[in-house]
Amino acid sequence: MATPTTDDQVHEAVRERYAAAARNHLPLTDSGGGCCAPAEPAASSCCGPDEFAASAITRNLYDEDTEFTAALAASLGCGNPTALAELAPGEDVLDLGSGGGLDVLLSARRVAPDGMAYGLDMTDDMLTLARRNQAEAGIANATFLKGRIEDVPLKDAMVDVVISNCVINLSPDKDAVLAESFRVLRPGGRFAVSDIVLLREVPAALTGVVALWTGCISGALLDRDYVAKLEAAGFTEPSVEVTRHYTREELVELSERLNADWLPEGMTIDDIVDALDGAIASAFIRATKPA
């Protein structure tokens, strides 16, 4: 797998990874017979049986009794922004990088009957999966849109809340994401996302590892840089609240998914675990658009 050197290459690496994850949950008729569809389990040449299984980052984030079981199975987030965003009936919500649609469907329930939940994703397979999950759940007040989170296809001041779940760290242009979030929020609107953050600097060489980009690590911002970028975008009261520290054992588990051929020259998997130990965490990031 080549190291991404441009924004477009990062986008394409992320798109490919999440498209494959979506096809793991789509029947052949929906996925076009792509890899990891249910009819092609462990025998698939492009992903093994555990490639998209819940990792130390993605598991145990939601109440497993949720009615949206299909969307839950496809969730690849690092938190539960809908539990922390304090959504109210009548509000309009935008989920950046909505994936299989779980957070959109949960939001739609909370803002019903008069509020709308929008989901934005750049991956066709994820949009197909999300719309299928929406139809099966019978949710009317949700809309899934295709596009990049750096260029949101909504008009100015259209939503009350922007949420996201472990997606902004994947963007190569986070300033654009935060500027777009500010633009689409109404005055007094809330930015309330779950994301991976860095608690200290990590070796610069790790930012070029594709598997770490798409696994939500090497694209992550330092916590203080997140706050600074939110302020630069115009937000007030920015804060980063760590919700989960990752243990060395969990980092070892994550490292087992890395191919040795993708590692920076001179670094071993043990070196990467050492570099990340104590450095990464899930966090809830809040900010407000001035009224």
Q: What is the DSSP string of 77-95?
A: -SS-HHHHS---TT--EEE
* Beta strand extents in 41-148 (DSSP E only): 93-96, 117-121, 142-146
220: nearest Cα among 174, 257, 252: 174
Confidence category of residue 271, pLDDT binned at 50, 70, 90: confident
| Cα-based distances in Å from 95 to 12, 222, 245 | 20, 22, 24
241: nearest Cα among 85, 98, 109: 85
Which distant-in-sequence residues (6+ apart) come within 8 Å of 6 by Cβ? Answer: none
Q: What's the angle, vertex CA 167, arms to CA 163 and CA 170, rounded to 5?
A: 150
Beta bridge partners of 244: 282
Please state the φ and ψ torsions of residue 100, each to the nearest 5 degrees: -75, 0
- Percent of the chain topping pLDDT 90: 45
- Domain made up of 7-288: CATH architecture: 3-Layer(aba) Sandwich (3.40)
Q: Any idea where the domains of the chain sit in the sequence?
A: 7-288
How many residues are present in the chain?
291
Residue 17 vs residue 46, higher pLDDT: 17
Please state the φ and ψ torsions of residue 284, each to the nearest 5 degrees: -105, 120
Confidence category of residue 37, pLDDT binned at 50, 70, 90: very low
Residue 262 vs residue 123, higher pLDDT: 123
Q: What's the angle, vertex CA 157, arms to CA 153 and CA 163, rounded to 5?
A: 70
Which distant-in-sequence residues (6+ apart) come within 8 Å of 260 by Cβ? Answer: 269
| Cα-based distances in Å from 190 to 89, 157, 199, 221, 229 | 15, 12, 24, 20, 16
Radius of gyration for the chain, computed over Cα atoms and rounded to the nearest angstrom: 18
Q: Are 122 and 150 in contact (CB under 8 A)?
A: no
Q: Given this model, what pLDDT does residue 42 score? A: 30
Kindly report, residue by residue over 221-256, the tens digit of the pLDDT.
899 999 999 999 999 999 999 998 888 888 888 777
Confidence category of residue 269, pLDDT binned at 50, 70, 90: confident
Kindly report, residue by residue over 51-68, the tens digit of the pLDDT.
444 454 454 455 544 666
Q: Are 49 and 36 in contact (CB under 8 A)?
A: no
